[in-house]
Amino acid sequence: MNDLDILQQINKIGQLLLKHGAEIYRVEESLKRMCEGFGFTDIEVFAIPTYFTLSLTLHDGTPYQSSKRSRSNRTHLDHLYELNCLVRQISNQELSLEEIKNKIQNIETQKLNYHLILIGYIVSAAMFCVFFGGHINEMIVSAFIGFILYYFIYLLEKLDVNGIVRTILSSMVLASIAIIAQKMNIITNQQSVITGTLMILVPGIAITNSLRDIIGGDFVSGLSRMIEAILIAASIAIGVGIMMMVLQGV
Amino acid sequence: MESLIQCLAAFIGCFGFTFIFRIQKNIRFSIIGSLIGTLGWFVYLITASLNNIFLQSFIAMLCVSLLAECFARLYKAPATIFIVIGCFPLVPGSGIYYTMLYAVQGMNDLFMESFLSTLGISLSLALAILISSTAFQIYKRIKTNQYIDMG
């Protein structure tokens, strides 16, 4: 087996792990374990949420160094699980290079079912509205907002609008639809609609990962994700607040 | 009756979130994650006699994250999967709403109160995740005998 071919695949796995929302310690440990499995020495890995560097000594004694960047990160828990299994198999030396290549390609080329994601937006918006005390009318309006939000966020992501502005605009959309529905007397409980639908925007993964990074001792990454979570929560509040203020007198 | 509807709504809502987080093949994770989330809300409801939302959130989140870690060990999957889904019913969404409502209406006392309670709930949730993850880290070290060499 060629060392550089293997390392190329390992780098790819590291990049995918970062991209799909793994904690920093998982990225670092996975890379280290895989390299140890192939018998490389002097392995040093350092990762932050958008970047990692890997340096080691090859079997013939030459030093190797690589760094990879992963900018467009988005959570994908299915892939996270598959990558985790793949890393475990590679560290135990269960796979040949061809099998590793195939598995990575499998993960990379998997087609997402976007209809399911749309259903996810609609169902979770509607159900969390019920959860916060909405009745049938509120539920229907929330489902509608979930439907709109899916396409709105999809559009903003296509245009590569940054996360903060995206969250502000999306929360403005959801708040304005809810308030207008309230003014038109379609719903009576505006609070349940707004709280239920803003759940979609809540930065759950950023909070969880930032705490788990801090536990792992990666304070730089933990803090950067914490700031991300706080900024997103603040932008939700700002977006909803602006729309409340604007539509108050209408 | 109302709590039953809430628990059911929490389950289906969490299940919807698993699609947003792109679990499409491992549906068992979706179901377990949603069940953990529902259980978290159930714990929050039955501890209502404590009359302290911070303590309630803390205990509920502790159950959620401990269970998540257990299932993560069982299925050899990252615990994040279960925690992310299970935390949703406990996230203070209505806190954010009321904080903004009071801010917009200029009621500063109520604004401060709901802001601080939202912050407090978030911190309780964070503390619960911190504690359970650390506990499992210690357990792992003891079990695999990987003590740190103090030099």
Kindly report, residue by residue over A13-44, the tens digit of the pLDDT: 999 999 998 989 899 999 999 999 888 989 99
- Same structural domain, A135 and A171: yes
pLDDT attached to residue B69: 93
- Same structural domain, A59 and A180: no
Place of tokens 């796979």: A95
pLDDT in tens, A114-153: 999 999 999 999 999 999 988 999 999 999 999 999 999 9
Q: Which of A125, A204, A237 sits opposite B84 (nearest CB)?
A: A204
In angstroms, what separates the C-alpha of B149 from chain A's closest C-alpha? Answer: 17
Of A66, A82, A109, which residue sits at a domain end? A109
Number of domains in chain A: 2
Handedness of CA A150, A153, A155, A157 (dihedral sign): negative
Instruction: Please state the rounded mean pLDDT for residues A186-215.
Output: 89
- Same structural domain, A121 and A148: yes
Query: Looking at the complex, does the CB of residue A235 fall below 8 Å from at least one CB of chain B?
Result: no
In angstroms, what separates the C-alpha of A14 from chain B's closest C-alpha? Answer: 15
- Same structural domain, A96 and A119: no
- Same structural domain, A133 and A196: yes
Q: What value does the CA radius of gyration of chain A take, rounded to a whole number of Å?
A: 22
This model of the complex carries an ipTM of 0.89
CB interface of A with B, residues 116-145, below 8 Å: 116-117, 119-125, 127-128, 130-132
In angstroms, the CA A97 to CA A2 distance is 9
CB A48, CB A219: distance < 8 Å: no
pLDDT attached to residue A215: 83
pLDDT attached to residue A207: 86
- Same structural domain, A56 and A154: no
Of A109, A143, A158, which residue sits at a domain end? A109
- Cβ contacts of B25 on chain A, cutoff 8 Å: 78
- Same structural domain, A180 and A242: yes
- Same structural domain, A39 and A61: yes
C-alpha pair distances (Å), A76 with each of A39, B20, B64, B80: 30, 9, 21, 11
In angstroms, the CA A38 to CA A54 distance is 14
Confidence of residue A208 (pLDDT cuts 50, 70, 90): confident
CB contact under 8 A, B16 and A121: yes
- Same structural domain, A140 and A212: yes
3-state helix, strand, coil in chain A (%, to 5): 70, 10, 20
pLDDT in tens, A55-85: 999 988 899 999 999 887 788 999 999 999 9
Sheet of A63-69, strands arranged across: A41-48, A51-57, A63-69
- Cβ contacts of A120 on chain B, cutoff 8 Å: 16-20
Q: Where are the domains of chain B?
A: 2-144
- Cβ contacts of B130 on chain A, cutoff 8 Å: 211, 214-215
* Amino acid type, B121: I
pLDDT attached to residue A250: 61
Average pLDDT along chain B:
91
Of A109, A139, A167, which residue sits at a domain end? A109
Handedness of CA A51, A56, A60, A61 (dihedral sign): positive
CB contact under 8 A, B17 and A120: yes
Name the residue range of residue A184's domain. 114-247
- Same structural domain, A50 and A171: no
State both tokens at A151. 């396409």
CB contact under 8 A, A122 and B94: no
Q: At A64, is the secondary structure helix, strand, or coil?
A: strand
pLDDT in tens, B57-105: 999 999 999 999 999 999 999 998 999 999 999 988 888 889 988 988 8
In angstroms, the CA B88 to CA B36 distance is 10
Average pLDDT along chain A:
91
- Same structural domain, A123 and A243: yes
CB contact under 8 A, A211 and B129: yes
- Same structural domain, A94 and A34: yes
Q: Is the pLDDT of residue A94 over 90?
A: no
